[in-house]
Amino acid sequence: MKVNVYVTLKPGVLDPQGKAIHHALEGLGFGGVADVRAGRFIELDVVDGTSDADLEAMCAKLLANTVIENYRIERP
């Protein structure tokens, strides 16, 4: 079973990489971009029946640093 995990910076945490991407987009002539925030996408292949609690624990213990990041789990 494929599970998608999206790790994103919490609102209010400065994202210098997102800012650099934003500047680069403007440099390419894309003027209509208000903001860019970069995150991480992780694809897990887990055994069928893996519990929500286990997936939550994987995210909270390792995949995201909850000091600075939020995560979202997307099951098929």
Partner 1 sequence: MKTAVIVFPGSNCDRDMAVALEQVTGRTPAMVWHRDTDLPDGTDFIALPGGFSYGDYLRSGAMAARSPILRAVADAAGRGVPVLGVCNGFQVLTEAQLLPGALMRNAGLNFVCRTVPLKVENSQSLFTASYSAGETINIPVAHHDGNYFADTATLDRVEGEGRVAFRYADSVNGSARAIAGVLNDAGNVLGMMPHPERAIDRAHGGTDGLRLFEAALGALA
Which positions touch partner 1 (CB under 8 A)? 13-14, 16-17, 20, 61-63, 65, 67-68
Please identify, using beta-carbon distances, which residue of 23 and 75 lies nearer to partner 1: 23
What gap in Å lies between CA 15 and CA 28, rounded to an integer?
A: 20
Distances in whole angstroms, Cα of residue 70 to Cα of each of 8, 11, 37: 5, 9, 13
Minimum distance of partner 1 from residue 20's CB (angstroms): 6
Given CA atoms 56, 74, 41, 71 in this order, what sign does their dihedral have? negative
Please identify, using beta-carbon distances, which residue of 35 and 48 lies nearer to partner 1: 35
Minimum distance of partner 1 from residue 40's CB (angstroms): 8
